[in-house]
Chains A and B, each alone.
Chain A
Amino acid sequence: LAKTTQPISMDSYEGQEVNITCSHNNIATNDYITWYQQFPSQGPRFIIQGYKTKVTNEVASLFIPADRKSSTLSLPRVSLSDTAVYYCLVGDIRAQGFQKLVFGTGTRLLVSP
């Protein structure tokens, strides 16, 4: 599984757009990029997954440049309830070993009024 690097923490204010970048220089050809969100006292929750270019859903967008060595999770107009830890995971989702999701320490996002 490719190693990922994320900022330890980020601060933002309500209504702003937040971009969290994850570096994964050793990403392999078959690897996908997956982001999870975790609120205090809860288990992680799947946010978005992508392979290349851009993926958008009702919660977030995921931007992946052509070289795929990094990715950016974009949260539009954050609210206080977006305060959480965000994890970037990289791996071959079709490989038998992918069940060993490697979460790392994630990025702690704090949204203030």
Chain B
Amino acid sequence: GAGVSQSPRYKVAKRGQDVALRCDPISGHVSLFWYQQALGQGPEFLTYFQNEAQLDKSGLPSDRFFAERPEGSVSTLKIQRTQQEDSAVYLCASSLADRVTGELFFGEGSRLTVL
């Protein structure tokens, strides 16, 4: 596809379950980002990849959150032992350049609801 694709669009998990969210960036985009957006708030940075290297993971809220991009294209955000406070929209974005120049291309997000 032409844009950033995320799946699933909606995920309901019981507290304590593990979830995995997938991101297919735009083909050829070097940089990939994950953001978390709580209801009524702006997106907040979680982590950043340049190709397969995770260069910044300072925004991950706890060690239950893990992201990978093993072949420098598709990325997976994994949340272990989900908690209710993990309920949010998880946005993936990609950029052609090896650093941000201002224009990130975002996917539609994966809405996670933890019961």
Listed in ascending order, the chain B residues whose CB lies under 8 Å from chain A are 4, 31, 33, 35, 40-45, 48, 55-56, 58-59, 91-93, 99-109
Contact = CB atoms under 8 A, between A and B. Distances in A.
Given A42-B108, A43-B108, A100 B42 contact: no
Main secondary structure of the interface of B (DSSP, over half): loop
Contact of B102 (A41, A42, A49, A85): A49
A46 interface: yes
B56 A105 contact: no
Main secondary structure of the interface of A (DSSP, over half): loop
A93 B101 CA distance: 5
B36 to A, nearest CB: 11
B100 A93 contact: yes
Interface of A: 32, 34, 41-46, 49, 85, 87, 93-94, 96-106
A43 B109 contact: yes
Given A99-B33, A100-B56, A100-B59, A43 B106 contact: yes
Nearest to B3: A43
Contacts of B100: 93, 98-99, 101
